[in-house]
Homo-oligomer: A and B are copies of this chain.
Amino acid sequence: MFGICNFVAICYIFAMISSRSRMVETLQSSGFSITMARSVVFDVLEHNEPLTMSELCHKTKGVVDRASVYRTIDLFEKLAVVQRITYGWKYKLELSNEFQEHHHHLLCLKCGKLLAFHEHDKLEQEIMAIARNHEFNLTGHQIELQGLCADCQK
């Protein structure tokens, strides 16, 4: 009945719809309106790799004002719709863990690419152990690996 391709496609469409509607729901349940600016910012983030603030502003130029982008990101962060990930000592923005799986990144110092990695079980366990040793009540963590990606090593 269903080929694997159909299944994948259906999952993909479902993920998109559910991701967007979850954002709508998040906004409404906190009493915020669904406005064009917020929709546009969300859509841009959904369909791109992690973006810097200026990249985001550039992609929404002419449609959403810079100030509104900042205000929208500010709101989205408070509602945990987006998260900042450190990139060198700057940051990029992406949809947060509730809207996509928890992960960290490898940063290529030559081409600037951010490569996500998901195998981090041991890493996370070790981090929790360290926090425990220091009587730390852990609420979050950032990990970034820097180096040269496979392509740039050639």
Contacts and interface: CB of A to CB of B under 8 A. Distances in A.
Bin chain A's interface residue count.
Answer: 35 or more
A135 interface: yes
Contacts of A122: 122, 126
A138 B131 contact: no
B89 A106 contact: no
How many subunits of this chain does the assembly comprise?
2
A contacts with B: majority SS: strand
Interface string A78-117: 0000001010011100000000000000101100000101
Contact of A123 (B127, B134, B148): B127
Interface of A: 84, 86, 89-91, 106, 108-109, 115, 117, 119-120, 122-123, 126-127, 130-131, 133-150, 153
